[in-house]
Amino acid sequence: MSENRGQEGLIECVPNISEGRDQVKIDQIVAAATAVPGVRCLDVDPGSDTHRTVITLVGAPDPIAEAAFRLVQKASELIDMSQHHGAHARHGATDVCPFIPVSGVTMEDCIEVARAVGKRIGEELEIPVYMYDRAALTEDRSSLADVRRGEYEALPEKMTDPEWKPDFGPAEFKPGPGVVTVGAREFLIAYNVNLNTRDKPKADDLAMEIREKGRAVRIEQKTPYYSSGKLLRYSDSEGQWPSNLTGEIFDSRNALDQHLKENGTSLADEVAFFGQDPEKLDGEMVMKRGTFEHCRAVGWVIPEYGRAQISINLTDFNVTNMHHVVDACRDLAESRGLVITGSELVGVVPYRAIHESGQHYLRSQGSSGGVPMKDIIATAVQSLGLSDITPFDTDASVLGMPTTRGELTGMEIHEFTDEVSRDSPAPGGGSIAALAGALGAALGSMVANLTYGKRKYRKRQPEMEELAIHAQKLKDDLLRAVDEDTAAFEEVIQAMRLPQGSPDQEEVRLKAIEAGYRHATEVPMNTARLCLEVLQLAMEATRRGMPASITDAGTACWMARAGVESALYNVRVNLGELQDSEWKSALIEETATISAQADQFLRESRDQVDKIL
């Protein structure tokens, strides 16, 4: 994991503790985790019958790792597993502790965090630790059910078995805390699809079609509902070996197996998937897989909603996302005379998942995906029908959603302009340079989207959409740079205010000033690079965008060029305060290169504008 990744990105951690009845203990355990700066608690869900509480935390990698450790530590102090009894399977005070990527991190990052936390728990708290799921150190420990088999009561014997030596910590039975199972997994999206019926069997019929584990194969349906058909069973004595793929009946086991192999599977694979004994298939139902992998689904009725729902858990949205299942449910419902009225998100959803759904529906309707982020999310909310039951709150329900709203960019235009005009050095030229570039990117995206929407330029749609998407990203990056530039200058001011009454203090102050100026140079340097990208895109818009928008594309070029030069002014003025001559020389060379490229791009774009005008 990269050094800066420790403070960037967002990871969800969902510890399950074996305490669901004593609220005081639960609060103390949660407080231990949330005392870590940068960690938020999204939900605390205690269950009295299960004697278990599910806690949902989010934070950057380093803080969330610290929070998880402190939670495990506090739980081990407050929970005595020798006195624990509940309806849920369990084998430790902190029974499971999975880490889940939300945004700006990969699964590999979460695996690294999980293993580091597991190792620390084992070494510092001396509690046995098993790693599971994607963080498992051995394949036979990837399944939580396998690792937890026998539960807490099996631990005294388990700890003496060499095959179950813990991955971290001592191989000895700890009566109080038991063991901790730490892992990494994909984000689980709890998602319900709403039907215009109160009939649970109708919802079940759709659920069994889409869920991964599927259903029993039936033929000769009497109604549009699959469940109205006749069950198919294997019969060795009658020579009936039905295919779970087509319903076709073969006269021997070998013939069926050959048919399945021709379709990329085998009888052994299929029966193993459904937990059937290949040697005892006579009389067993023929089972078929459902439409979607990583999808669990069941039908139920919610009286307060006055309707049935398909309750869905999507265990890997990278494979099966919300739009996949809701679109399939709409098709299935229509064939049965039902209507999908909308859907409901339970809890939260990663930004990347809902963004992907929004892009899917924009593509489906033939619209450009190069639009503002909030428009993409709004498209997903409308298309999925997420406000069917209650209004969808994007801010509360979408995790890891990027924002461009800062102290300055959150102001109205007249307020921001007034702020710039006051007698304070910040916001200054660096922030204005970033804003100029952002406006240029916005204009470039506008030209691309206008061109995309004209039938005359249909063949240019792929390149115009690509241009618009790139421009939107640059726009957002530059908007964030408006506040970043002012914040970087504030670091310099704060460093200058440090005490300098002794040689040691003076040394600390000078190092802080050097670091501050370095950062205050890096920010506008990055702004200049981004503005150069905007200028290049805007130049392309003058060439490939529709002629009616040539003045908009030309204006985008000038705004970007202004952003480049203004940002470079800020780089140059700060370089004079720095001592690192090698680093300064490299930046001076780069500023000259960027300025020359910007002049060339602007010259070419002006020629194109003059040609059309």
Q: Catalytic residue at 259?
A: no
- Candidates 22, 88, 375, 476; catalytic one: 88
Q: 369 with 447: CB under 8 angstroms? A: no
Joined together, the tokens standing for residue 494 give 């704060």
Question: Strand, coil or helix: what is 198?
Answer: coil
Among 369, 389, 390, residue whose Cα is nearest residue 380: 369
Strand pairing class (94-103; 287-288): unpaired
3-state SS of 506-565 is HHHHHHHHHHHHHHHHHHHHHHHHHHHHHHHHHHHHHHHCCHHHHHHHHHHHHHHHHHHH
Among 534, 527, 498, 514, residue whose Cα is nearest residue 574: 514
What distance in Å separates the CA atoms of residue 389 and residue 304, rounded to the nearest whole number?
11
Question: Strand, coil or helix: what is 42?
Answer: strand
Among 69, 66, 58, 72, residue whose Cα is nearest residue 16: 72
Q: 62 with 20: CB under 8 angstroms? A: no
Q: Catalytic residue at 355?
A: no
Among 406, 451, 395, residue whose Cα is nearest residue 431: 406
- Candidates 477, 483, 485, 552; catalytic one: 485
Give the angle subtended at the CA of 530 by the CAs of 529 and 532, to the nearest 5°: 65
Alpha helices (H) in 283-372, listed in sequence order = 322-335, 351-364
Half-sphere exposure of 207 (CA within 13 A, CB side): 24
What distance in Å separates the CA atoms of residue 569 and residue 525, rounded to the nearest whole number?
10
What distance in Å separates the CA atoms of residue 438 and residue 481, rounded to the nearest whole number?
9
β partners of residue 231: 218
Alpha helices (H) in 172-282, listed in sequence order = 200-210, 253-262, 267-273
Among 48, 136, 59, residue whose Cα is nearest residue 96: 136
Among 51, 60, 45, residue whose Cα is nearest residue 14: 45
Helix (H) / strand (E) containing 184? strand 180-184
What distance in Å separates the CA atoms of residue 122 and residue 113, rounded to the nearest whole number?
14
What distance in Å separates the CA atoms of residue 47 and residue 68, rounded to the nearest whole number?
21
Residues belonging to the active site = 88, 485
